[in-house]
A and B are shown apart, each in its own frame.
Chain A
């Protein structure tokens, strides 16, 4: 039997957790284990590593589902989406959408957004420590008539019809507190990296929209055009202070008018 065939047989025995009679001609279990028990050692290890990776990325989803259901959903996900990456931390990119299809989780309306939020936090954590423009310099530059903002990489706007941030903040609490959360409440969040930490700040839906537009490359006047009725000078000033305080601006491009 060639090495490729041996490895293929090992892999199928590990995944299926049953040992065909031919398998016992090839493999010998360690210690006092039976061959099935020995493959079960590898099988459990495989599931545990991938489930732990999902648990690390989706801690709040785990909290909502509880240990048994989360592990069960993980097993189904692992079966459908085996890992092909060399790094366990990459695992789980499709878990968010999987939750909306899985028979045990699709009825939990906020779960998809909660998972999306957690994956975003993880992605922002993997961005370099930002080097933002000093707040005073930013405040000077925004006195111009029009300008574009180049944000730091570790910045994102998150919107959901559910209060996922409130749920996420409870993730280390005992499960029974879950009933107290008013999760049916829309949420607009500015999430950003400052020095080495991730910060989450609630913003108004209007502010979230302007930030999204600016991030997509629109100028400040373009981004604010649709909201002129709502944007008083005080509100614009508060918005600039929000941006300056968060330290999310890498550069400002002054536009000729």
Chain B
């Protein structure tokens, strides 16, 4: 059972190294868990049993990496059918993926690849999101991704692109502060400017994670502690996001559960000390 109230909705990713601990159903500081959809789509063994156990005590969000929403050929129907089945089984409060492309029907590159910020991309995304939302009969939430290559021909900035896709498709935004930080470093813009131009009434969830500095660029490894720069962005945004579900994200070099709980508590502390007056409007 979890001890924290849902007032400050800070969650953690459900990860395999924590299964043994969580199976004992301990009291935790975590308000909800995010599960990577693909891990559970075909699972008939321990992963799905673990997710269903967790779901007895916590709200759960499903977060995918392989929807390939930026594919001009459309989203795979078999993927959507399995996702819909999983949604029926675990009743998540959020279903999300990434605003990117991941390959083609015959070849999944298993990466979150950048889209050009063009009208063509917006049209492709809006079409695909519409199809997905109709199929799943619920809103889709899409995350801004970190990138190491951009396109010379772009019709707009990343923040305008993300906003336009959300406005025209009705999808929510999963605002990843680490990815904003990485892209601001890699592509040379002010992360505060980016965040000030995202329509907060479209933001449905927030991710906070750590990156690795490779000298010439920042890389989104999700394997390190959250950097001071990302915590600074989090503090700046706290008054506007304190009513939203926040996720502390860690996918690699996963530490002990209690170590991640400390980051959860840190996020809750920051949110509790932010100012209610600056809060945004309702989430989508």
Contacts and interface: CB of A to CB of B under 8 A. Distances in A.
28 contacts: A3-B115, A3-B118, A6-B151, A7-B70, A7-B113, A14-B109, A26-B153, A27-B149, A30-B148, A30-B149, A30-B217, A32-B215, A32-B217, A33-B148, A41-B219, A42-B113, A46-B109, A46-B110, A46-B111, A84-B106, A85-B108, A86-B38, A87-B38, A87-B41, A88-B38, A127-B44, A129-B45, A129-B46
Contacts of B284: none
Contacts of B111: 42, 45-46, 49
Contacts of B26: none
Interface stretch (B97-105, B193-201, B222-230, B259-267): B97-105
Contacts of B105: 84
Interface residues of A, number: 44
A220 interface: no
Contacts of B116: 3, 6
Contact of B110 (A7, A33, A83, A129): A83
Given A2-B72, A84-B105, 20 more contacts: A11-B107, A25-B152, A26-B153, A27-B151, A28-B150, A30-B147, A30-B150, A31-B185, A31-B216, A32-B215, A33-B217, A38-B148, A39-B149, A42-B109, A42-B111, A42-B148, A82-B107, A83-B108, A125-B46, A129-B45
B108 A84 contact: yes
B113 to A, nearest CB: 7
B186 A30 contact: yes
Contacts of B109: 11, 14, 42, 46
Contacts of B71: 7
Interface in A78-116: 82-90
Contacts of B107: 11, 82-84
B38 to A, nearest CB: 4
Contact of B152 (A2, A27, A46): A27
Nearest to B46: A196
Contacts of B276: none
A217 interface: no
Interface of B: 38-39, 41-46, 49, 66, 70-73, 76, 79, 101, 103-111, 113, 115-116, 118, 120-121, 124, 147-153, 185-187, 215-219
A49 B73 CA distance: 24
Contact of A28 (B43, B44, B115, B149): B149
B49 A87 contact: no
Given A2-B120, A27-B151, A30-B186, A88 B216 contact: no
Nearest to B66: A86
Nearest to B152: A28
Contacts of B151: 6, 26-28
A37 interface: yes
A89 B38 CA distance: 9
B45 A128 contact: yes
A50 interface: yes
Contact of B72 (A7, A30, A83, A129): A7
Interface in A28-62: 28-33, 35, 37-39, 41-42, 45-46, 49-50
A29 B216 CA distance: 11
Nearest to B217: A31
Output the residue of A84, A127, A193 with the most chain B CB within 10 A: A84
Output the residue of A6, A32, A193 with the most chain B CB within 10 A: A6
A126 interface: yes
A7 B109 CA distance: 12
Nearest to A128: B44
A2 B119 CA distance: 11
A232 interface: no
A10 B70 CA distance: 13
Nearest to B221: A45
A14 B149 CA distance: 11
Contact of A26 (B41, B70, B115, B152): B152
B49 A129 contact: yes
Given A42-B111, A128-B44, A33 B216 contact: yes
B69 to A, nearest CB: 12
Contacts of A33: 148, 216-217
Output the residue of B46, B121, B150 with the most chain A CB within 10 A: B46
Nearest to A124: B45
B247 to A, nearest CB: 21
B211 to A, nearest CB: 12
A2 B72 CA distance: 10
Contacts of B121: 3
A257 interface: no
Interface in A117-133: 125-129
